[in-house]
Amino acid sequence: MNKILFLDLIKMHEPIRKELHDAAIKVIDGGHYIGGEEVKSFEKEMASWLGVENICGVACATSGLFATLKSMGVGTGDEVITTVHTAIATAEAISLTGAQVVFCDVSADGFNLDLDEVEKKINSRTKVIIPVHLYGQPVDMDRVLAIAKTHNLKLVEDCAQAQGAVYKGRKVGTMGDAAVFSFFPSKNLGGFGDGGAVTAKDPALMRTIRMYSNHGRESKYDHEFEGINSRLDAIQAALLRVCLKQLDGWNSSRRQVAAWYDAGLKGISRLKTPKVLSGTEPVYHLYVVIVPDRDALAKHLKEKGIESGVHYPYSLNVLPAFARLNQGKGHFPKAEYACEHMLSLPVSPTLTKEEIEYVCETIKNFYK
């Protein structure tokens, strides 16, 4: 068996290599590198794929989240609730506005936000909740939407890892007040560098986010307010247009890979496979299992030529970056436990049944 890569981007892109090259060359030869037709076309195509009115391409999801919160008027004195188990970007975007990040633990049976804890942490300073559809597994949106409505809070979906995931027939990113996507190369829809997109329900908010991401302007020198430079490059947009056409197929392949794992790992009593919330169709950005002896299993897999990963080794509360919150080890026991016991298995949409069976057999042999 050849080495099994965690994510084989070169193999994934092989069937569209020529189309990608042509798209890049068209931009290079066209001489227009910021904004323009490619960005507009990508935004239109992604909006239509998602089923929303409007999408704004941005430089990355981090700046997209930041621009969204700023455009909602979030700042000093406000609180924004999110999960302690996410990429640091989610929390950074909150802190950068001057608002206080309020972490919640993960739920007992999954890796997403514990919504009971969210309710407990809401107070008069709370302005926004950011549910993160982590690993491509949708959050319980009915419940989080009800919480937001009851307390008159805004909801920003962090869909960085969940392009195409479905909750009760609706794609994630279509339910909150706004939603943010990342096109970091390893994401389900990945670019060839950094990139992201934002959508917002309210056209006025969407307009502000678009302006905020482009120095507070709509036309060249008419700066209505100070913003930032967070634009999607024309070359990324052109390449993403090619990849967007593959996204549904890639997502089905990831689901197939997950189904093969579910079947192949059944019966290993010391290993927990991902739990799927009823009524949802995850897109398996990651396939994460919980095991008692994570590091030893990862080492065993590596020796057998199988890559694996840990997403993430630390919950945000224990990182030096959040020492100011005084919420070190012990504050978020479920997330901390998960970080010590989780292992992400290879999820490349290019993986074959035979390869997944090999990974499952290797894990079974480890536990024999």
Please report, as ranges, the residues that interact with ligand PLP according to CB under 6 A.
60-62, 86-87, 89-90, 132, 158, 160-161, 182, 184, 194, 196
- How far is 117 from 141, CA to CA, in rounded Å? 15
CB of 196 to ligand PLP, least distance (A): 5
176 vs 196 by CB, closer to ligand PLP: 196
Nearest distance, CB of residue 248 and ligand PLP, angstroms: 21
CB closer to ligand PLP out of 90 and 273:
90
Residues 6+ apart with CB under 8 A from 171: 50, 51, 164, 165
Peptide bond into 312 cis (omega under 30): yes
Pick 260 or 314: Cβ nearer ligand PLP: 314
Q: Which is nearer to ligand PLP, 190 or 346 (CB)?
A: 190
H or E segment at 201?
Answer: none
Distance separating alpha carbons of residues 86 and 335, to the nearest angstrom: 10
By beta-carbon proximity to ligand PLP, the closer residue of 64 and 264 is 64
**Residue 113 CB, nearest approach to ligand PLP (Å):** 12
Q: With respect to ligand PLP, which residue has the nearer C-beta, 30 or 174? A: 174
Gyration radius of the chain's alpha carbons: 21
Identify the residue whose tokens are 């634009």: 231
Tokens 């909750």, located at residue: 167
* Minimum CB distance to ligand PLP, residue 299 (Å): 25
Question: Which letter does DSSP use for residue 56 in this model?
Answer: E
What are the C-alpha distances in Å from 365 to residues 160, 297, 305, 354, 360? 35, 10, 14, 16, 9
DSSP codes of every residue in 126-173: EEEEE-B-GGGPPP-HHHHHHHHHHTT-EEEEE-TT-TT-EETTEETT
**At its nearest, how many Å lie between ligand PLP and the CB of residue 180?**
7
Question: In the bound complex, what is the minimum distance in angstroms from residue 66's beta carbon to ligand PLP?
Answer: 10
Of residues 196 and 227, the one with the C-beta less far from ligand PLP = 196
Residue 157 CB, nearest approach to ligand PLP (Å): 10
